[in-house]
Amino acid sequence: MTAGHTELAVSRRCRALPVSPIRRLAPLADEAKRRGRRIIHLNIGQPDLQAPPSVAESIAGAAGRHLAYAPSRGLPEALDAWVTYYRHHGIEVEPGDIVITSGASEALSLAMIATCDPGDEILIPEPFYAPYQGTTAVAGLQLRTVPLGPGFTPPSPEAIRAAITPKTRAILICSPNNPTGTVYSREDLLALGEIVRETGIFLLSDETYREIVFDGPPAPSALSIPGLDDHVVVIDSISKRFNACGMRIGTIVSRNPAVMTAVADLAELRLAVPVIEQLAIAEALSAPEPYISTVVETYRQRVDALVTALSRIEGVTCHRPGGGFYVIAQLPVDDSEQFAAWLLRDFHVDGEAVMVTPMSDFYVTPGRGQDEIRLACVFDPETLTRAAGILEAGLAAYPSRRNA
Amino acid sequence: MTAGHTELAVSRRCRALPVSPIRRLAPLADEAKRRGRRIIHLNIGQPDLQAPPSVAESIAGAAGRHLAYAPSRGLPEALDAWVTYYRHHGIEVEPGDIVITSGASEALSLAMIATCDPGDEILIPEPFYAPYQGTTAVAGLQLRTVPLGPGFTPPSPEAIRAAITPKTRAILICSPNNPTGTVYSREDLLALGEIVRETGIFLLSDETYREIVFDGPPAPSALSIPGLDDHVVVIDSISKRFNACGMRIGTIVSRNPAVMTAVADLAELRLAVPVIEQLAIAEALSAPEPYISTVVETYRQRVDALVTALSRIEGVTCHRPGGGFYVIAQLPVDDSEQFAAWLLRDFHVDGEAVMVTPMSDFYVTPGRGQDEIRLACVFDPETLTRAAGILEAGLAAYPSRRNA
């Protein structure tokens, strides 16, 4: 076994990781920028809105602080702030039910490792947030999917039951959903609760977009369903609702003490989450209204503007999401990734191009999502409408457009 | 499979995680504080020193910034700052050889996952930083150890060769070492380099304490050994040298492009590291001298004071470390964890108690380290000398003291 001039191979698990579509398209976007194109980035859920003003004040105020390790589970101030926040949403939890994480991504990873062993199956409705696939793989889990219903409605209890096997250890939902906007109703959650109780498995619930719901109150939390204390593990984040992706603060919440002990053990291995951000989210989480309602109203207007503009395009089908801030559009093309690449490489309107996310990587079932794209509503309605216009013109000019 | 009132069990891998000795002792420390005791915390490597002043300025300056995701690999400013820092240490790397991480702990975790598959063996000289054990377990690796030589010298090349099996995929060293202070010389690294080249395995090198060396220049980096570009993966951190544990900024460095692609793929799953801290470390890494040399001189004085004080205690053997800021002392007790617990529960001098870390969890070989403790030199010499006095009085009063 001499390495010589051969590059030492990395692990098989890393060689098997899916390459994100954005990674494949990023060089084309960079190249387009070098050619002087302006790009409307509809491809990433990076809000353009500002965090609550109290966040900046808190950061400035903490600047001279001694930068010591926070406790692994989180600063008491941050844990208390989450408790108060959840209480405001009618959910009673204690600081011991919470561990502060580096964003929802770490929360998800810890939740998977705490609840599942390598080889266990995790069931995820499809399509799903693309990085779930890699996170599942790194945790050593087998990913099984159940398709969402027509119009991206939650899968039926029957469909879920049929997809559960003796190896299934957890179901992972995301509500409001990235990318589909699906909001699980209280009835949906009650039905899911019955299933996880009967089968003795965990319900992991990613509630990152909780308040961003367009027709009614915030999405009900899995924590609000009675009798599920042992089963429910909530993944949460301040990134989207409080416009602070770059702070990387999430949380994991469960009333199952064994789960929280396991999560705390895992959290101890990475020691702590940064102090400055934990202090700042204590401020963000108590941001006085109308902060959140303004955020929600902003996304409602944007989603409506984009859906309206897309629906007018011949051959495009588009579903108005119930929440979140993504819109999925079905295009008259056979391969939306090729189209997205073409949009960056070969098309512009007055020097302006659009970058979109092909949906195929949000599915694992082969062939699904091939004609779909995901668009993030992270610009004002005028920009989104202009972007839809560029998309329309692009489709008209696209050599591989599918005939009606 | 009905859960009923039975708590749903967490994963086997989490149930098998070692509980850290600190976790076991923490409730006793809390209880002592409730009884009004002041505790000198020698149990954790939490520096009392201040980060460079530029860090606070950078944080304050960035407070109002739009808190967007940084690139997964790190902000260009932070990557460039590491490149400049390494160049200052005579090491040429490019931004593409670096990924910014959430502390050295995430760097180590990513390095293990990128280089090793579940079931692969990783070889670590013993004793080692206790959390390595959990990180190894979560990554699914088998931990094998090779003992350090007499006086905590690096293991001999023969001992290392003898411990390598066909399943060994990587060796992990830490220099200067936590907990032993062992500094691997250039000759030690050259010998290690020959071994990893011959056997075609990776050399993971945790260099968190690089500059903190008491007799001579900073510890040589594994990156400075020629011909090892494919093999070496360095784990680094600003926490200890720049007194900013609470910022959680580390890095992973390798000139093996496949490793860095794998690490970047893994980093993409957790999206990014906080923006504010990345901007601030760009300042810290270029902190003008005498910042670092003052830090090193401070620890030299502390280590000397503590070693001197401990060496005077009858029955205590103590080794002056070559670097880092921990001191290991061998005590006339059969079970240093029981003694550490007793120190918190039953002993004080004028209301002051000491908390120390039992060394048994820094070993996996049964029976090793039972009479050793680790002390972190994170206080001024006077406090350390006083702490040694409390330890001496405690040993004299300890009912289970071993007879000479």
pLDDT in tens, B1-31: 344 445 689 999 999 998 777 778 999 999 9
Per-residue pLDDT, A233: 98
Looking at residue A327, the DSSP 8-state letter turns out to be E
Flag if B68 and A246 touch (Cβ within 8 Å): yes
B273 and B313 inside one domain: no
The answer to whether position B403 is within a domain reads no
The distance of B174 to chain A (nearest Cα, Å) reads: 16
- Please count the other Cβ atoms lying within 10 Å of the Cβ belonging to residue B205: 29
Flag if A2 and B198 touch (Cβ within 8 Å): yes
Per-residue pLDDT, B20: 74
The answer to whether position A9 is within a domain reads no
Flag if B197 and A3 touch (Cβ within 8 Å): yes
The boundaries of the domain holding residue A31 are 18-49+291-397
Contact B253, A26 (CB under 8 A): no
Domain boundary, last residue among A263, A285, A307: A285
What is the C-alpha to C-alpha distance for residues B241 and B50, in angstroms, rounded to an integer?
10
Contacts of residue B274 in chain A, CB cutoff 8 Å?
246-248, 274, 276-277
Domain boundary, last residue among B285, B317, B346: B285
Per-residue pLDDT, B6: 52
B253 and B313 inside one domain: no
Flag if B67 and A46 touch (Cβ within 8 Å): no
Write down how long chain B is.
Answer: 404
What average pLDDT is seen over chain B?
Answer: 94
Contacts of residue A44 in chain B, CB cutoff 8 Å?
69
Contacts of residue A100 in chain B, CB cutoff 8 Å?
none
Contact B128, B144 (CB under 8 A): no
The answer to whether position B236 is within a domain reads yes
Per-residue pLDDT, A4: 40
B88 and B235 inside one domain: yes
Q: Which of A233, A237, A248, A279 to mutate to test the interface with B (most CBs of B within 10 A)?
A: A248
Low-confidence winner among A106-115, B280-289, B321-330 (lowest mean pLDDT): B280-289
Flag if B231 and A3 touch (Cβ within 8 Å): yes
A120 and A25 inside one domain: no
Residue-wise pLDDT tens digits, A275-326: 999 999 988 898 788 999 999 999 999 999 999 999 999 999 998 999 999 9
Looking at residue A160, the DSSP 8-state letter turns out to be H
A173 and A27 inside one domain: no
Distances (CA, A) of A28 to A23, A34, A41, A341, A355: 10, 10, 13, 7, 10
Contacts of residue A64 in chain B, CB cutoff 8 Å?
56, 60
Percent of chain A scoring above 70 in pLDDT: 98
Nearest Cβ partner of B11 from A14, A69, A117? A117
Task: Read off the CATH number of the domain in which B147 is found.
Answer: 3.40.640.10
Identify residue A109 by its one-letter amino acid code: S
Of residues B101 and A361, more confidence is placed in B101
Q: Count structural domains, chain A.
A: 2
Residue A336: is its pLDDT beyond 70? yes
A267 and A315 inside one domain: no
A315 and A191 inside one domain: no
Q: Which of B122, B269, B275, B357 to mutate to test the interface with A (most CBs of A within 10 A)?
A: B269
ipTM: 0.95
Residue (of B274, B279, B207, B275) closest to B239 by Cα position: B207
Residue of chain B whose alpha carbon sits nearest to that of A58: B63
B298 and B378 inside one domain: yes
Per-residue pLDDT, A62: 92
The answer to whether position A27 is within a domain reads yes
The answer to whether position B168 is within a domain reads yes
What average pLDDT is seen over chain A?
Answer: 94
Q: Which of A7, A11, A19 to mutate to test the interface with B (most CBs of B within 10 A)?
A: A11
Residue-wise pLDDT tens digits, B352-369: 999 999 999 899 999 999
Output the 3-class SS for A260-301. Answer: HHHHHHHHHHCCCCCHHHHHHHHHHHCCCCCHHHHHHHHHHH
Contact B109, A270 (CB under 8 A): yes
A156 and A236 inside one domain: yes
Per-residue pLDDT, B75: 96
A149 and A264 inside one domain: yes
Per-residue pLDDT, B258: 96
Contacts of residue A103 in chain B, CB cutoff 8 Å?
270-272
Residue A404: is its pLDDT beyond 90? no
Residue of chain B whose alpha carbon sits nearest to that of A244: B67
Nearest Cβ partner of B138 from A11, A231, A266? A266
Mean local confidence (pLDDT), B277-298: 90
Residue B119: is its pLDDT beyond 60? yes
